[in-house]
Structure 1
Amino acid sequence: MKHFLSAILFFALSMLQAQSVASPSKNIILDFKLTANGQPTYTVTYKNKTVVQESTMGIKLKEKPALDANFSIQGSKNSIFNESWKPVLGEQSSIVNHYNELKVSLIQNETNVKMNIIFRIFDEGVAFRYDFPKQSELNYFIISDEVTQFNLTDNYKTFWIPGDFDSNEYEYNETKLSEIDNSKIDMNNGIGVKSIPGKYIVQSPLMMKSAAGLYVNIFEAAVVNYPVMHLNVDVKNYKLNAQLVPNAIGDKAYLQTPCVSPWRTIMISDDARDIVSSKMILNLNEPSKIEDTSWIKPMKYVGIWWEMHVGKSTWDFAGSQNAQNSLTQELLPSGKHGATTENTKRYIDFAAKNGFDGVLVEGWNVGWEDWFGNWKEEVFDFTTPYPDFDIAAISAYAKSKNVKMIMHHETSGSVANYERHLDRAMEVMKKYDYPAVKTGYVGKIIPRGEFHDGQTMVNHFNFVARRMADNKLMLNSHESSRPTGYGRTYPNYIAAEAARGNEFNAWSKGNPPMHEIILPFTRQLGGPMDYTPGIFEIKMSYYDKSKTAQVHTTLAKQLALYVTMYSPLQMAADLPENYEKYMDAFQFIKDVAVDWDESVYLEAEPGDYLTVARKTKGGESWFLGTITDENARKSEIKLDFLSKGQKYKAIIYEDAKNADWQKNPIAYKIKTIIVTNKSKISLNLAPGGGTAISFEPVK
């Protein structure tokens, strides 16, 4: 009898130490347990196949016992959550947030420190975070490491970029997981500041595919008051370990209870469309904290920007001869300054004529003569225009044309300087009616020794979004840490760059044709990207015959990017005079929406192809974009997403038969047909090409 009772007690204790939770569809199951030494571990299966083998969990603390073992389970709680919420701007008018949750309450046997682990299981994946309740045993603490592990079962095909603490502006590598090696990357890639800590550290989100056709994506959500998580890859055993970005003295995060870590996420599906269309990252963030969101508007814009990249003009007013102290000394004009009153009015006229919402002007403010590479603290004041930029006259002129101006704040990486000037800079924006700002963080960070992806900078990027919200201003950040869904909480954080954008095509080896097909599976899972598409003059030899750089797409693909690369802030990035030569193709950019009621991902394969159809917010028009990599592609698309019983005029912007991103990139043709939801359309994409289609209801 005694042995029987002991067996029952052992079985009950084992059951308490192990917990399971399934996704609503039951396809994904997460198993949690404590090992013999009390270490938290988890396992994930998809359709009865193990995807993540037993993997460790926990946190290491500075000058305190590590929270990675000697735990007991105090209790657990299961719950179900199912809601629909409406984003202010987005791909869908309504987003479903449905998951099953398991909360496991742990206590460390020797220290009595309490830590909860919260799991949320969605139909498209798993998320978990560490939760530290208020307690006397743990108040202020410093994280020195995170022992979160993703122990994979396969040598996946992997789309990866180096785990650079200062830049995410890399082209993607496509290799086996076992072949990841940062030492083999060509570093002549146009990136000014690089901080790669090791051969096998890569960035998340990490997109992978098994030989059997299973898609797995590892990322994070709701990074608030915490550093970015990169991944340290064990290339022999296919294990990924969390690699937190340190601060200037090597610590990872300073926290006080109660607090939580970001969510660690694993998306899993046998259909790539489930990954690229997922709203899981957004759903893991807090709802909007802005009560009145009526001032948050989508914008399509042009601007004084690409002309600097192609060498037609410059950001600086004076040139290098006046570079010693550009904030105080008298400047002599170089004659190449782009941000002049006259030139800005020309862009305003173009925007007004073609129905664009805004005009961005870079290089408007003093300081550009001495801004890059000097690690200098005081470069810009964000309030003083150059003498040839009449900010008051420009503001009045834009208002008369019903065009909004978009401010530009390049911080030169001097974050301390920007925070000192931020309130005054916002006052200038409000005085001259600039509803949105593009920020930039090119260069090494000040405070010196901090990284772009560390806790200090994550807090800064989020702080700027909050302060802009306080002043009813929208934010588009460049060179920031990649978004992890914070735009749900502060929807005025309308877009970000945070990846290798279109600009690299102007002056470096550029972005390969597969680049824009990988970004929706990686960078864009966390929020919209300001990629700046719409370049029509593809080859830079057009401006200077000695130049070999070019955009690695066809013109038709540049049009398709307005649909495949979601953002409520979209730039027609080329020069007005270039658009005026191709007004028939430019019509698509004029017509395409930037905010949507519905999005349907029709075809998807990371690195190879992507086809998306979207319905205009509050309207009946649809737009379709399809893009391919360096390979030509043919496909047939059913139009069953269109409304039943309605005829549509389909205007098709496609590659010409002889189009090729290298040999003949500007060759395109346009045709118009009548279709219904029972129709099919044949797509013929050139190498590096694409197709863009507008569907207008026929009355």
Structure 2
Amino acid sequence: MKTTTHLATAVLALAASGAQAADAVIASPDGRVTIRIADNGSTFSINRSGEAVIAASPLGLELEGQALGALTLESRQDVAEDRVIPLVATKAATARDHYRGATLTFREAGAGRRVFIDARAYDDGVAFRYRLEDTGPVKLRGERTAFVPAGDPTCLVTPSDGSHEQAFERLKVSQLKPGVAYDVPVVCATPSGRTHYAITQANLKGYTGASLRQEGGALRLHLSGVPGREGPAFVSTAGLTTAWRAVMMADQAGKLIESHLVGNLNPAPTGDFSWVKPGKAAWDWWSGPLVGMKPDMGSYKRFIDFAAESGFPYYLIDANWAWGSGGCCDASPETDITRPAKGIDMPELVRYAEAKGVGLMLWAHWVHVDARMDEVLDTYARWGIKGVKVDFMNRDDQQVVDFYERIAAAAAKRKLLLDLHGAYVPAGLQRTFPNYITQEGVLGAEWSKMTTRTTPSHNVTLPYTRMLVGPMDYTPGGFRNATPATFEVRAEMPLVQNTRGQALAMYVVYDSPLQMVSDDPTSYRGEPGFDFIKRVPTAWDETRFISGEPGQDIVLARRQGKTWYIGAMTGDQARTEKVSLDFLPAGNWRATIWQDGEVVREVRRTERKVTRKDVLSLSLAAAGGAAVVLEPWPAK
């Protein structure tokens, strides 16, 4: 406890010393957001609209061997950027990258080494990172970086584990358990409630992941070390560029959903990604056994037929298709993922699917892929496979970060889509490799097969937390709907703790350009609401937050072309959502509405003519939802 108190005391002492004239202050284009970095490189602070968001907080690097000495600001090079970036298969057609920034060069006393801090201030957040341009090896034990929230805010936090599949809690910073690692993003609000913010990371390329731990009122950054490798968390043969440390900010928690900050901190793609095709996929694992269904040509063709008749572009074949598959989670040495199981003719399955307009994707354990990545992906490309789902990394250290980069690039080279499970939380790699189309790192619907943790309140917390930083493969579509009171855990043909209306709304609210239609085909045919799932897109031209509060409810609108889609979800309480349509262009529009019926598996479908002056009244049951399609009224 003395160590953690010392950290906070040191930070407060620095804050009390007062800002010096030589401190570097960088303001956002609209002037509302500032980041201040001390002239000795020891602290930073963040303000928005005249109030402190992050109080004076530590900066610095902890090098192995010769520690860094005292630093002095030597020079400052300012930069300003304002550009529009075209996007591929995501939540918007374009992203505006608009910031003011600076590279601050600090010189070390004595040894004379230079440390660079790049900092940027956007209208919706700030970011900074460290660089060392040494030609020799760098060994890094950790960063001194910490975030000291102004006041003692209540935050949404989740413990960090290997798979990043834990529920969020609402706790004050002072209530966080010392020594417990918390995942990014940590989502808080200033004491006044005027600024909502999320602390996260971006652009891990060549670096390592991190978590946050409460130390004396600060959220201290801890780098993830390679398991079994003693010593530094990060090693480099020459130089160092850390990940960006980012703080997203907005007036409302839901407005953070619209931000492109994490993506903008990553390099733009190089090459042609016009071949990346978003869409929905039939999927066999969720409705089947935990270990995956037995390999069977007839069973696989049943899902292909379902995808074809539903208009879905993909079918994901999950575990057990490969030669020597066994068990759930371990990489068996007997498994050969370049050979199908006995009785499975993969080229024939591909031909069968292609004839029906369906592309196949295959599941694989990451250890099997990593061992011979080129051979594996070349084999899949030769077969005509459209993508690969890679699972069970369950780490975010330097080696695994490198694996993500390598497989995203290798898959892109072969025009394969990539879906990573057992994955760390997104840091924007999808911006550089749009074929990296979705990922897990979320407590999703699969847990309905094993626990009661995917609760209604959890479902309406995710958009305000995990979804802020990138797509999430929650795997929605459960059509065996139940209430929390009637829900029971079933490994096969599982139930979900939400209404049919909420099942539909997830396809609008949850961001995933590759979206699973997770239930068994028999659960959908002739069922109310499936008509909406068949037509809803998975990638968008525009995303707008309408209303809601974390853990309680959300109304989100997304546009593709001229058509708008609305998803509304509520937690434990039934409610009526009043949705203003003032975001619509002028003219008449046809609103097709699916909302909760009298029982959990019923939805009521209605149509009406509306204009931008109208307000829709959507009735949501407890754990409920509604979906709306708004399209221009046909000209007579």
Fold similarity call, TM over 0.5: yes
Q: Are the structure 2 counterparts of residues 211 and 153 from structure 1 closer, same or farther at C-alpha, using a change threshold of 3 Å?
A: closer
* Whole-Å separation in 2 of the counterparts to 1:52 and 1:454: 27
* Whole-Å separation in 2 of the counterparts to 1:603 and 1:124: 18
* Equivalent position of 2:298 in the other structure: 342
Q: Pick from 536, 546, 555: which aligns with 1:611? A: 555
Q: Secondary structure at 2:461's aligned position in 1?
A: helix
Checking the alignment, whether the CA contact within 8 Å between 1:633 and 1:684 is kept in structure 2 is yes
* Whole-Å separation in 1 of the counterparts to 2:411 and 2:182: 32
Deviations 1:288-321 (A, max 9, x none): 12x1112111121102112225x6xx52xxxxxx
Deviations 1:396-451 (A, max 9, x none): 1111111111111123xxx3x4222322221221122111111111xxx6xxxxx6
* Equivalent position of 1:299 in the other structure: 279
* Equivalent position of 1:592 in the other structure: 536
Checking the alignment, whether the CA contact within 8 Å between 2:150 and 2:190 is kept in structure 1 is no
* Equivalent position of 1:640 in the other structure: 582
Q: Are the structure 2 counterparts of residues 505 and 259 from structure 1 closer, same or farther at C-alpha, using a change threshold of 3 Å?
A: same
Checking the alignment, whether the CA contact within 8 Å between 2:478 and 2:495 is kept in structure 1 is no
Q: Secondary structure at 1:346's aligned position in 2?
A: helix
Q: Are the structure 2 counterparts of residues 344 and 377 from structure 1 closer, same or farther at C-alpha, using a change threshold of 3 Å?
A: closer
Q: Which letter maps to 1:173?
A: E
* Whole-Å separation in 1 of the counterparts to 2:160 and 2:307: 39
Checking the alignment, whether the CA contact within 8 Å between 1:267 and 1:275 is kept in structure 2 is yes
* Equivalent position of 1:515 in the other structure: 458
Shift of 1:39: 4.7
**What TM-score comes out, normalization by structure 1 length?**
0.83
Residue 365 of structure 1 pairs with residue 322 of structure 2: yes
Q: Pick from 535, 541, 557: which aligns with 2:478? A: 535
* Whole-Å separation in 2 of the counterparts to 1:455 and 1:635: 45
Q: Pick from 209, 213, 217: which aligns with 1:238? A: 217
Q: Pick from 170, 194, 197: which aligns with 1:216? A: 197
Shift of 1:371: 5.4
Q: Are the structure 2 counterparts of residues 379 and 499 from structure 1 closer, same or farther at C-alpha, using a change threshold of 3 Å?
A: farther
Checking the alignment, whether the CA contact within 8 Å between 1:613 and 1:625 is kept in structure 2 is yes
* Equivalent position of 1:188 in the other structure: none
* Whole-Å separation in 1 of the counterparts to 2:256 and 2:272: 32
* Equivalent position of 2:142 in the other structure: 145
- Which region of structure 1 is more displaced relative to structure 2, 356-365 or 267-276? 267-276
Q: Which letter maps to 2:522?
A: E
Q: Pick from 186, 198, 221: which aligns with 1:206? A: 186
Q: Which has the larger Rg? A: 1
* Whole-Å separation in 1 of the counterparts to 2:232 and 2:238: 18
* Whole-Å separation in 2 of the counterparts to 1:380 and 1:369: 8
* Equivalent position of 1:6 in the other structure: none
* Whole-Å separation in 2 of the counterparts to 1:377 and 1:351: 31
Q: Are the structure 2 counterparts of residues 16 and 49 from structure 1 closer, same or farther at C-alpha, using a change threshold of 3 Å?
A: closer
Q: Secondary structure at 1:487's aligned position in 2?
A: helix
Q: Are the structure 2 counterparts of residues 107 and 388 from structure 1 closer, same or farther at C-alpha, using a change threshold of 3 Å?
A: same
Residue 655 of structure 1 pairs with residue 578 of structure 2: no
Checking the alignment, whether the CA contact within 8 Å between 2:442 and 2:473 is kept in structure 1 is no
Checking the alignment, whether the CA contact within 8 Å between 1:510 and 1:549 is kept in structure 2 is no
Number of aligned pairs?
610
Q: Are the structure 2 counterparts of residues 281 and 379 from structure 1 closer, same or farther at C-alpha, using a change threshold of 3 Å?
A: farther
* Equivalent position of 1:454 in the other structure: 397
Checking the alignment, whether the CA contact within 8 Å between 1:171 and 1:512 is kept in structure 2 is no
Q: Are the structure 2 counterparts of residues 477 and 221 from structure 1 closer, same or farther at C-alpha, using a change threshold of 3 Å?
A: same
Q: Secondary structure at 1:306's aligned position in 2?
A: coil
Q: Pick from 164, 171, 178: which aligns with 1:168? A: 164
Q: Which letter maps to 2:74?
A: Q
Q: Pick from 600, 612, 615: which aligns with 1:677? A: 612
Checking the alignment, whether the CA contact within 8 Å between 2:278 and 2:538 is kept in structure 1 is yes
Shift of 1:366: 2.6
Checking the alignment, whether the CA contact within 8 Å between 1:509 and 1:549 is kept in structure 2 is no
* Equivalent position of 1:629 in the other structure: 571
Pairing 1:383-532 to 2, within 5 Å after superposition: 383-411=338-366, 415=367, 417-441=368-392, 452-532=395-475
- Which region of structure 1 is more displaced relative to structure 2, 126-135 or 274-283? 126-135
* Equivalent position of 2:524 in the other structure: 579
RMSD across aligned positions (CA): 2.3
* Whole-Å separation in 1 of the counterparts to 2:542 and 2:41: 44
* Whole-Å separation in 2 of the counterparts to 1:298 and 1:529: 14
* Whole-Å separation in 2 of the counterparts to 1:666 and 1:172: 27
- Which region of structure 1 is more displaced relative to structure 2, 623-632 or 509-518? 509-518
* Equivalent position of 2:601 in the other structure: 666
* Equivalent position of 2:622 in the other structure: 687
**What TM-score comes out, normalization by structure 2 length?**
0.91
Q: Which letter maps to 1:433?
A: G
Checking the alignment, whether the CA contact within 8 Å between 1:528 and 1:566 is kept in structure 2 is yes
Checking the alignment, whether the CA contact within 8 Å between 1:539 and 1:548 is kept in structure 2 is no
* Equivalent position of 1:563 in the other structure: 508
* Whole-Å separation in 2 of the counterparts to 1:250 and 1:557: 48
* Equivalent position of 2:7 in the other structure: none
* Equivalent position of 1:179 in the other structure: 175
Instruction: State the 4+ residue runs in structure 1 displaced beyond 4 angstroms.
Output: 539-549
Unaligned residue ranges in structure 2 (runs of 5+)? 1-18
Q: Are the structure 2 counterparts of residues 377 and 591 from structure 1 closer, same or farther at C-alpha, using a change threshold of 3 Å?
A: closer
* Equivalent position of 1:10 in the other structure: none
* Equivalent position of 1:118 in the other structure: 118
Checking the alignment, whether the CA contact within 8 Å between 1:90 and 1:568 is kept in structure 2 is yes
* Whole-Å separation in 1 of the counterparts to 2:163 and 2:87: 29
Q: Are the structure 2 counterparts of residues 379 and 27 from structure 1 closer, same or farther at C-alpha, using a change threshold of 3 Å?
A: farther
Q: Secondary structure at 1:472's aligned position in 2?
A: coil
Checking the alignment, whether the CA contact within 8 Å between 1:277 and 1:601 is kept in structure 2 is yes
* Equivalent position of 1:85 in the other structure: 85
* Whole-Å separation in 2 of the counterparts to 1:543 and 1:151: 42
Residue 253 of structure 1 pairs with residue 210 of structure 2: no
Shift of 1:58: 0.5
Checking the alignment, whether the CA contact within 8 Å between 2:488 and 2:495 is kept in structure 1 is no
* Whole-Å separation in 2 of the counterparts to 1:155 and 1:643: 43
Shift of 1:360: 0.8
Q: Are the structure 2 counterparts of residues 26 and 680 from structure 1 closer, same or farther at C-alpha, using a change threshold of 3 Å?
A: same
* Equivalent position of 1:24 in the other structure: 29
Deviations 1:32-85 (A, max 9, x none): 113xxx4521111111111211111010011221x3x50011111222111101
Shift of 1:276: 1.8
Shift of 1:156: 1.6
* Whole-Å separation in 2 of the counterparts to 1:163 and 1:655: 35
Q: Are the structure 2 counterparts of residues 425 and 485 from structure 1 closer, same or farther at C-alpha, using a change threshold of 3 Å?
A: same
Deviations 1:649-668 (A, max 9, x none): 21111112x45xxxxx3232
Q: Secondary structure at 1:515's aligned position in 2?
A: helix
Unaligned residue ranges in structure 1 (runs of 5+)? 1-13, 182-197, 316-336, 446-450, 660-664
* Whole-Å separation in 2 of the counterparts to 1:354 and 1:452: 36
* Whole-Å separation in 2 of the counterparts to 1:588 and 1:272: 28
* Equivalent position of 1:44 in the other structure: 46
Q: Are the structure 2 counterparts of residues 96 and 544 from structure 1 closer, same or farther at C-alpha, using a change threshold of 3 Å?
A: closer
Checking the alignment, whether the CA contact within 8 Å between 2:25 and 2:36 is kept in structure 1 is yes
Checking the alignment, whether the CA contact within 8 Å between 1:632 and 1:689 is kept in structure 2 is yes
Q: Are the structure 2 counterparts of residues 371 and 519 from structure 1 closer, same or farther at C-alpha, using a change threshold of 3 Å?
A: closer
Deviations 1:477-527 (A, max 9, x none): 000121100111111111101111110012212312122322223322332
